[in-house]
Structure 1
């Protein structure tokens, strides 16, 4: 059961968060389940970039992005080398530290 550390975000989780979650679910679902209400305008179908996160630790331990996700990531604000769409990251056995960007392509937060 991996531990997910969410760095502080001024709107979604002001103090940051730490939780354990079952393997096999998407990072987006894990965040939502733990009351971190990340945007997911396309309802987690990899058709937008609103659930963009930056994996600060554990990036090399998660499933690889496919071509569709990589194309969507090009639309994300603040794209970094270790950016992913949280709806496409499947939790495995490794812990993750993530940062939710302050801005999305939908609005400024």
Structure 2
């Protein structure tokens, strides 16, 4: 199991937490399985940006982002070089530190997709 440190998020995880995930699990699934209700409006199909996270440590251990994910990330609120869509980022063996941005843009719901 791989350790994921989730930094504090005002609504979803006010105190931050540490969770465990099996290698090959998406960050999104790991968060949801541990009671952190990250938004995933497109049901994890890589069609929106609501599950955007910033991987503060360990990003090099994740699978490489596909072009479709990269294109969507360009539309994410608060985009940073370490940004990933958590539904597409698969956990490896390296511990991660993940930040959930304060805001999200729901491309599906807001009719912008």
TM-score by length of 2: 0.92
Verify the 8 A CA contact 2:61 2:91 in the aligned structure 1: no
Q: How many residues align?
A: 107
Structure 1 range deviating more: 19-28 or 4-13: 19-28
Cα displacement (A) at 1:75: 1.1
2:39 pairs with 1:39: yes
Q: Which runs of 5+ in 2 are unaligned?
A: 107-113
Q: Aligned Cα RMSD in Å? A: 1.1
Residue-by-residue CA offset, 1:27-51 (whole Å, 9 max, x unaligned): 1000000000000000000000000
Q: d(CA) in 1 for partners of 2:58 and 2:65?
A: 14
Verify the 8 A CA contact 2:26 2:91 in the aligned structure 1: yes
Q: d(CA) in 2 for partners of 1:57 and 1:92?
A: 13
Verify the 8 A CA contact 2:20 2:30 in the aligned structure 1: no
Cα displacement (A) at 1:25: 1.1
Q: What SS does the corresponding residue of 1:55 show, helix, strand or coil?
A: strand
Q: What SS does the corresponding residue of 1:24 show, helix, strand or coil?
A: coil
Q: What SS does the corresponding residue of 2:75 show, helix, strand or coil?
A: coil
